[in-house]
Structure 1
């Protein structure tokens, strides 16, 4: 096993720089997830670690060895891609062993590795089948098994569950978490799905436009986002944001909300008239009179999911707002409700999007 270190890593395609000086330490045996919107650079960063993209500047080290000029096959990594890329004319066993056989690995050792991977992934009954006889989840297991047989120091996953349906994604998340627990190998995983990130990661790296916004444990990012971008990206449904203006003395007036006000300790540093953004998560919104600031809400869409219901609507100022419904669980589109914001659960962001403490 080995850790992965990035020091001032940059990537440019011609005159366009896409990765802007990333620093990161992935500890030996850690499960780290790169997450962010499309185009944020997460897959490019993973491919640079794998050696599939050149590093324009900075250093990539695996197990303490700088690998900038080391061929991908010699870096001690194994990558699992979004596409399964299985050989259709080969059986599962042949797909698993192909790379080892091409490298001249001893037959006995190859058979041992294939048997071990099949046991870990619980695909032993499938070894004689060809890919066309497998489900999507089974094919992804085989793709992961092909990485396991290499016995790498670092596993790299590039959105491996994107082609699966919702039920299989949940199942495979559990399988990957179990795999990490059994192997204890360093894993770096790329996804745009923050639910995958929250459920799999020891630590999450949130990326935006080629820069690291925040690194931390899942609940630390959820509870203590450093800025409005992270606050809005981590959590589903996303955090609600309402425009506000300082009245001085820690009081805020919510813009266009009929004079609604709220006092927040974090607002003490704002001068009168200075603008800010108030954030509140859907699950923290309360019923009328239960918080410090009441607001009218017109329901546009009601999602009743069984154990949880979400109401999507607009405030008086026309700002979208999502509520995890409690007492209003039976609400429907067109209903007019009054919701309340508890000051103790609210976040405050300055005009540049930084969270104010």
Structure 2
């Protein structure tokens, strides 16, 4: 296995720059997940690591060796794509061994590698079948197996589960996590799925418009986002946001008025960066809303819909000014069937963001 280093990596298509000086250090054996909205550059960044896209500036190193000018086949990587890219006329065994056979690998070693990959992925009974005879999850296992037999230093995954149904996605997430634990190989994984990122990653890289917004462990990003974009993107359901204005500042504490909630006020500790009259945004995770009177500020909301998911329910609601909120509740279903509801905000759980989206502390 090997680490991966990106230093000020830039990608341009003609005059358009789509990746802007990305820098990242991936440790040996680490599981890194790239997340971000469509078009943010995550797949382009992965393809540059693989050598499938040339870089326009900066340096990419694998195992401490610069690979800017190294062919993809010589980088010690294996890539698993969203489309399984299996040869339909070949059996699973032939699909797994194809690359090794084309490289003139020894027959005995090829057979050993195929058998080992099949055992790891538990597809031994599928070796004589063709792709058309396999389910989506089985095809994805074969695609991963084709990467395993190459014995790469780094695995690259480009949204490998997006073609699977919900049940298979859960199953394959478990399989990929198990595979990483068993092989201990460096893995870099691209997804737009919050759950995949939060459950698989050692660290998450959040991208927006070709720039890295924040890098950190999943729960660190969830609990301590650097800005409003990260706060809104990490977590499902996402963080709630409400318009606010600084009403007063005194003794290291700032009081903000929720501008669409009449007299609602919230006082939080703050070090600097505030002036009376500043327009802010207050953020709160769905699970942090309390019942009426339990927090530091009450809100009156109109319930649109309640989703009951067993032990947890999600209330979809609007404030009096039509700010949309999602509130998590662990309670009986009958308690949240009402049209109107009063909830509270605990000041200790509130996040503040300025007009540019930067986090204020």
**TM range, smaller chain:** over 0.9
1:27 correspondence with 2:31: no
| Distance in 2 of aligned mates of 1:218 and 1:120 | 27
- Residues of 2 paired with 1:195 and 1:147: CA distance? 24
Matches within 5 A, 1:262-277: 262-266=266-270, 269-277=273-281
Q: Please identify runs of 4+ aligned residues in structure 1 that moved more than 6 A.
A: none
Q: Give the C-alpha shift of residue 330 in structure 1.
A: 2.6
Secondary structure at 1:212's aligned position in 2?
strand
Pair 1:39 & 2:39 matched: yes
Q: 1:351 aligns with which of 348, 352, 355?
A: 355
Q: Distance in 1 between matches of 2:256 and 2:306?
A: 30
SS at match of 2:87: coil
* 1:332, distance to aligned residue in structure 2 (A): 5.7
SS in 2 for 1:172: helix
- Give the alignment of 1:270-309 within 5 angstroms: 270-309=274-313
Q: Which runs of 5+ in 1 are unaligned?
A: none
Q: Indicate conservation of the 8 Å contact 2:313/2:331, yes or no.
A: no
Q: Which moved more, 1:345-354 or 1:331-340?
A: 331-340
CA distance in 2: counterparts of 1:184 and 1:307, whole angstroms: 35
Cα distance in structure 1, aligned partners of 2:223 and 2:325? 19
> Do the aligned residues in 2 keep the contact of 1:248 with 1:268 (CA within 8 Å)?
no
Q: Whole-Å Cα distance in 1 between the matches of residues 89 and 278 of structure 2?
A: 67
Q: Does 1:177 align with 2:177?
A: yes
Q: SS of the residue aligned with 1:264?
A: strand
Mapped contact 2:311–2:330 kept (Cα < 8 A):
no
- Equivalents in 1 of 2:333, 2:278: separation in Å? 37
Equivalent pair of 1:226/1:354 in contact (CA under 8 Å): yes
Aligned runs of 1:59-78 on 2, under 5 Å? 59-78=59-78
In the other structure, the counterpart of 2:322 is 318
Structure 1 contact 9–20 (Cα < 8 Å) conserved:
yes
Q: Over the residues paired in the alignment, what is the CA RMSD in angstroms?
A: 1.2
The answer on 1:330 being equivalent to 2:345 is no
Equivalent pairs, count? 357
Is residue 122 from structure 1 mapped to residue 122 from structure 2 by the alignment?
Answer: yes
Structure-2 separation of matches of 1:163 and 1:107: 33
| Structure 1 residue aligned with 2:167 | 167
> 2:206 is matched with which residue?
206
Partner of 1:243: 243
CA contact (8 A) 2:300 2:342 kept: yes
Q: Quote how far apart the aligned CAs of 1:179 are.
A: 0.3
In 2, Cα distance between the equivalents of 1:178 and 1:265? Answer: 43
Q: What aligned pairs does 1:60-99 form with structure 2 within 5 A after superposition?
A: 60-99=60-99
TM-score (norm 1): 0.98
Deviation of 1:140 after TM superposition, in Å, equals 0.2
Partner Cα separation in structure 2 for residue 320 and residue 267 of structure 1? 29
Moved more, 112-121 or 328-337: 328-337
Equivalent-residue separation in structure 2 for 1:186 and 1:108 (angstroms): 27
CA-CA distance at 1:63 after TM superposition? 0.5
Q: Deviations over 1:258-296 (max 9, x none)?
A: 111110113864211111110000001111111011001
Give CA deviations for 1:234-258 in whole Å, capped at 9, x if unaligned. Answer: 0110000000000112111001211
Q: Give the secondary-structure state (helix, strand or coil) at the position aligned to 1:330.
A: helix
Q: Which whole-Å CA distance do the structure 1 matches of 2:272 and 2:334 have between them?
A: 39
> 1:132 is matched with which residue?
132
Contact (CA 8 Å) 1:252, 1:267: kept in 2 or not?
no
Deviations 1:211-233 (A, max 9, x none): 00000000100110000000010
* 1:57 partnered with 2:61: no
Offset from partner CA, 1:163-209 (integer Å, 9 cap, x none): 00001001100000000001000000000011101000000000000
Distance 1:33 1:315 in 2: 35
**Offset at residue 85 of structure 1 (A):** 1.1
